Amino acid sequence: MNRFKFIVVSIFFINSYLIANLLESKNSNINNFLLQKYKPTFTNKKTLVEYYKQNNYQTFWTQNNEIKHISIQLLEKIKNDPVLESDDLDKLKIAQIENKLESLNNLDENFEEKLLEIDFLLTELYDKYSSYLLEGSINWKAFQNKLKDLEKQSEIKAQWDRYKIEKDKKRLLIEASKNNDLSISFNELDYNFPNANKLLDSIKQLEQIAQNGDYIKLPPFKTLRIGDKSPIVKTLRERLAQSENISINCENIIDAQNLATNITSLDANMQNQEIQTEENISCEEIFDEDLKNAVISFQQSHGLYADGIVGLQTQNFLNMSAKEKIKKIKLNLERMRWLPRDFGEKYLLVNIPEYRLRVIENDNIKLNMAVIVGDKKYPTPIFSDKMSYIVLNPNWNIPESITKKEILPKLLKDPNYLDTKGIEIYQGWDRDASKIETKEVIETLILQDIESVPNFRFTQGPSNENPLGKVKFMFPNRHAVYLHDTPAKSLFANARRAYSHGCIRLSKPQELLNLIATDDKNMTLQKADEFFKEANEKSVGLNNKIPIHIIYLTAWVDENGKLQFREDIYNFDKMQKELLF
């Protein structure tokens, strides 16, 4: 019995030794071939060696002289990427790689070497495509240079921080190769913005519209509204049917005499368009209630003032071609690659072109409000951070740029201006800076030009005049940007809400405060009410820091599955589309 055990153990060790030698020999062949014969196509040899070194010099894409499933998976993923164009696929040599795979013949005397070459080539392709999934194809450095040029030429300081994503592409490939499933890697590398897949699907729909002759173009006119009758109304109806805002069908004949008395003539409105005056006209040529509702639906999905009147802005979006929309969607998909892969369990999302803030928790929208963002001259920066404290009854330390451009010129005209606004002046920006009299500042202004005036701090205390309102939400950042209340509530009724100097004004600050207070032991509603009554500035640190992501999307699919487009208010679309690939 003991002798039998000895024989079994001996055989086991002999086999293990032989297997180890075979593996070592194979590993040595892979390493030698890689170092001595192979010429990389997409990456450098050092990077490629590191992939195989981490995988113990085992192949990723081939096994037992056969092509693994993940090889085909990689090629199909790239070929079906809706953002990549045909010339992008040419640059990635997809057709050549497929030809190499198809021409493989295990009877060829160089079969093993050819198989190794394909394995190396697919690893290179994976590395290049993975970098694209992580970083996108917009030339980041060139974009940053454009922002610097904008500041030099127009004194507009636009800032965009790309979120740095830390992912180990090599480790992910090793795991994917072991499981023969590349989705293990791609699911971690690729963006996961809400409804991104639906946005991808919309490209196919728009491509179909483009293939069928594109969207119908509207001829020039000033405005169209309910009650108007014209052949252009029929064209408008057909165009809105294309984007599924209305059904093309309507009642065949409408008696013009029975139209509402508020029907307006287009004589002064239309440009070189004849108006039908027959007693009976086609319903398709009458701007009725259904068409008004269709226009409102279209306006809402494009961020326009939803009044049902087709003016110039609505016409511009209606006349945007399917190809233009596809380009806009692709550009925004690329921007999503600059965003975190994990937004947080609970987070704030501010989309600048949409002028909206959402609080999202476990994929559910807890709060959705209108916001005011930076004017084109003072664009709100794009970045991610964490909200760490709240300030109740905030003082407003007026930025130096606003002081010199707005406050000081008004002070020269009216010496009592600061008193009417509750603004005090301090010697500097330190907390203990001494207060100085308005008279001293005016005397300095008289003797010097505004640009040469010392760096005084102008501070407006809590009041109805204070533009920060009753509360501000702080996430300390290099841009000095935060969320805050505002006394100017009427501005939220406007469709275009770019009025601030960069900070974000909230239409529902109290609701945001309530939402935070229900989930943070440091900030309760009772505490907040007590602090508000004191009318002095009070800072409260949050026990739970909340991620906030300020983004810039001009095309996306919303929480209701509706495709949305917005105006490129800061001209970032225009800058970035020149830098794709």
As annotated, the active-site residues are: 484, 503
d(CA 42, CA 78): 15
Q: Collect contacts of 446-452 with beta carbons under 8 A, ≥24 apart.
A: 450/404, 450/408, 450/409, 451/404
Taking the C-alpha atoms of residue 394 and residue 469, their distance in angstroms, rounded to an integer, is: 7
Q: Which residues contact 60 (CB under 8 A, 6 or more apart)?
A: 51, 70, 119, 122, 123, 126, 173, 174, 177
Beta bridge partners of 474: 389
515 close to 367: Cβ distance less than 8 angstroms: yes
E-state strands within 188-275: 253-255
Q: What 8-state DSSP symbol labels residue 493?
A: G
Please name every residue paired with 253 in a beta bridge, in sequence order, or none if there are none: 282
Q: What's the rounded Cα separation, in Å, for the pair 555 and 510?
A: 29
Asked if residues 118 and 60 have their Cβ atoms less than 8 Å apart, the reply is no
Among 387, 354, 347, residue whose Cα is nearest residue 471: 387
- 483, β-bridge pairs: 473, 504
Long-range contacts of 72-76 (CB under 8 A, 24+ apart): 73/181, 73/182, 73/183, 74/122, 74/125, 74/126, 74/129, 74/182
N- to C-terminal Cα separation, the chain: 71
Burial of 300 (0-12, 13-18, 19+ CB in 10 A): middle
3-class SS letters over 373-399: EECCCCCCCEEEEEEEEEEECCCEECC
CB 325 within 8 Å of CB 206: yes
Other Cβ atoms closer than 10 A to 352: 24
Structure tokens at 563: 């495709």
Phi, psi (rounded to 5 degrees) for 407: -70, -50
Between β-strands 364-374 and 396-397, what pairing exists: parallel, antiparallel or unpaired? unpaired
CA dist., res. 412 & res. 398, Å (int): 17
Residue type, 158: A
CA distance 497 to 517: 28
8 A C-beta contact, residue 471 and residue 392: yes
Residue 488: helix, strand or coil by DSSP?
coil
SS3 content of the chain, % helix, strand, coil (to 5): 45, 15, 40
CB 79 within 8 A of CB 89: yes
Query: What element of type H or E holds 443?
Result: helix 438-447
By the 8 A CB rule, do 473 and 484 touch?
yes
What is the residue-wise DSSP string for 510-532?
A: HHHHHHHHTT-TT--HHHHHHHH
